[in-house]
Structure 1
């Protein structure tokens, strides 16, 4: 009985000592020893309010009021803060003198990410000792081998969790600053050891879109550098699912992202679209080496067509230089235009294109100044809604009684053109448009500001030419080889086009017609086949034909 009582007393003493340990053992005295190591690893100043020993729910320590101070180039407030960090250790290894971390729990972390007016992130210098934030747009953040991944690899912990996190992102590089908030964050990392590939789970909601996002997968194995031999992640953005695979080595990263379908309404960004767009069979493969990114393969299905692209971009400047090639086949142009803009004139049909471009920056002033390109566009079996070219021609010629259709539309079998882009202008060359009632050729320009300046030679069918020529004295001047050709001028804007007749072109046709008749008459006189009296009669007929009087 005495032995049982003794054991009970001993247990009570041990429990009492254990309960008193958090109050007796002061871990704050170790701050001066470990805080400089943390500051050196993060390249930021750090503050700690309190460090205490914990017994329950597991043996370890709790750090309260942990704050990482902002880079001075971005402000004086905190970059990140946590209400507490709980570190739990394994008991059995501790009894043998070894410290093995079992779990780290981050409670209510708050992080503020800022992109300054030069397009540089405040996180660019995190973990990069001796590197200040860029004050000019010529520099961009480059991944550092001494960054957060190295810190993660050296943790050697079974489980890292995060609860109630919030990340605020502010972008001051745009004309109108934007702000997004990631809230309700949940994070779980398991098996964080050198040589292991951690399992990752992340869930959050993006505001102001109220968009849920989750991420699950593995990456690793963890090394003392930021190199990862394999990345295998699955991301859900709203109702859209992405698969991400790749690897990293130093400043080189290769990634492939695929998705069976992407709905623009599910993306956490505002796109210049009038209607939701769905992309199918999306795939992109890209490589990044420092500031250089190479898009080796981008392909997807859009509006029943296939889009394939390649390109490259160099970051680090306010207007980053880029180049690319785009190939489109089988795209339904009508729904595509309706999704982008609502205009009085729209084109439908099956479109294909080959285009090469190069430029600097993606804002409209940068594109207007620097975008250059060349290519070929073709549209088959379509219709131009909002304009009937034959009606416009008949109206200009003041033709009455000629049937050119009542619909405010122009049907065609083919439209194709070569194009060149320079200084905010799209130049159309070798334009060809085939229709049942006419063929149009010509060219001109379309400005980024929607300004039109085009000349189109409208050559009507023989049957329609006879109808128009019989009703219009002006039209007779342009008849050649039985077909009427009208030099049509198109000006105004895409939203409000205007149409006119190139009278200089018609004058040339009159001169050509009179010259031809004169040559025939003089030839007849010289050969003796035409008499002066007959020539006088032919002259009268010519004038009557030209002026209908």
Structure 2
């Protein structure tokens, strides 16, 4: 009996190692359609391989998730490789579905604010119900921003993203990334963290910025900075529909001084703030 168990385990391990080298290109059209159903976007993929160890599912290369036509023609997501994990319950009805897509660390996501007002991510819930969405996981990727057809110099580097839909129609979101500019060298900047949920009624998000150099924060808005040194951190709570988000939080500033002076001891303060943010018209 022990020998039989050993043989079965050995066969499973052997299959697991061999599977990634088996090209199953004949599955490509079905895999494209399954990803399209989960994201509500047209999808094109390259080579396809079976993946047993991190699945069961598939490793898919050269994946392009096209944009909603209302937001432009540049792809919504491009990644050289992703792991698509099967939704096992779907197999019982002989339907190919994926429970999650794990993007490789070279993934690029484009967030677009359309000329009509909405952001492209707002179309996701309109294209598919939250319960039918596929979970997305990204580690060490990049998030770019566009306003209409114009690409912003601002982007998030070293971005981690977890988008997890639930059966209640709620999408849970966790994000972290380092703000950067394409026209500046790599900044020594703290990470933004976003945690919360999103449904058709609106957002409920917690936003935090790690303590970061004031000069680096200033360079996000002005290449030359403001000539001030010190540290800044913030937290914010956002609630409501995208067109009328209630915002409240705290801004913490420490060791503020000019470049030619030393900081004063105990020279820090916290400021509470609140207001309303309209993502559609970019008005705070």
**TM-score range for the pair, normalised by the shorter chain length:** 0.5 to 0.7
Residue 206 of structure 2 contacts residue 235 of structure 2 at CA under 8 Å; is this kept in 1?
yes
The alpha-carbon distance between structure 1 residues 170 and 33, as it changes in their structure 2 partners (threshold 3 A), is closer
Instruction: State the TM-score, normalizing by the size of structure 2.
Output: 0.62
Is 1:180 the counterpart of 2:158? The answer is: no
Is 1:246 the counterpart of 2:240? The answer is: yes
Is 1:284 the counterpart of 2:275? The answer is: yes
Q: Which residue of 2 aligns with 1:84?
A: 81
Distance, in Å, in 2 between the alignment partners of 1:54 and 1:95 is: 16
Distance, in Å, in 1 between the alignment partners of 2:188 and 2:277 is: 29
- Give SS of 1:183's match: strand
Is 1:153 the counterpart of 2:130? The answer is: yes
- Shift of residue 62, structure 1, vs aligned partner: 1.4
Is 1:217 the counterpart of 2:195? The answer is: yes
Residue 170 of structure 1 contacts residue 180 of structure 1 at CA under 8 Å; is this kept in 2?
no
More relative contact order, 1 or 2 (CA 8 Å, 6+ apart)? 2
- Give SS of 2:117's match: coil
Distance, in Å, in 1 between the alignment partners of 2:246 and 2:46 is: 44
- Shift of residue 202, structure 1, vs aligned partner: 1.2
- Give SS of 1:65's match: strand
Residue 162 of structure 1 contacts residue 185 of structure 1 at CA under 8 Å; is this kept in 2?
yes
Deviations 1:94-146 (A, max 9, x none): 88668785543111212356xxxxxxx5x63xxxxxxxxxxxxxx52346898
Residue 168 of structure 1 contacts residue 182 of structure 1 at CA under 8 Å; is this kept in 2?
yes
2:140 is aligned, of 156, 164, 167, to: 164
Higher Rg of the two aligned structures? 1
Residue 260 of structure 1 contacts residue 280 of structure 1 at CA under 8 Å; is this kept in 2?
yes
Q: Which runs of 5+ in 2 are unaligned?
A: 182-186, 213-232, 257-268
1:169-318 equivalences in 2 (<5 Å): 169=145, 179-190=153-164, 192-195=165-168, 197-208=170-181, 210-220=188-198, 222=199, 227-228=200-201, 231-237=203-209, 238=212, 239-247=233-241, 253-261=243-251, 280-286=271-277
- Shift of residue 195, structure 1, vs aligned partner: 0.4
Aligned residues between the structures? 242
Q: Which residue of 2 aligns with 1:504?
A: none
Distance, in Å, in 2 between the alignment partners of 1:219 and 1:14 is: 39
Q: Which runs of 5+ in 1 are unaligned?
A: 114-120, 125-138, 267-277, 299-549
Instruction: State the TM-score, normalizing by the size of structure 1.
Output: 0.36
- Give SS of 1:147's match: helix
Q: Kindly report the root-mean-square deviation, in angstroms, between the aligned alpha carbons of the 2 structures.
A: 4.7
Distance, in Å, in 1 between the alignment partners of 2:197 and 2:152 is: 31
The alpha-carbon distance between structure 1 residues 24 and 147, as it changes in their structure 2 partners (threshold 3 A), is same
Q: Which residue of 1 aligns with 2:26?
A: 29
1:141 is aligned, of 105, 117, 124, to: 117
The alpha-carbon distance between structure 1 residues 292 and 52, as it changes in their structure 2 partners (threshold 3 A), is same
Distance, in Å, in 1 between the alignment partners of 2:193 and 2:9 is: 46
Distance, in Å, in 2 between the alignment partners of 1:260 and 1:17 is: 54
Distance, in Å, in 1 between the alignment partners of 2:58 and 2:18 is: 14
- Shift of residue 204, structure 1, vs aligned partner: 0.9
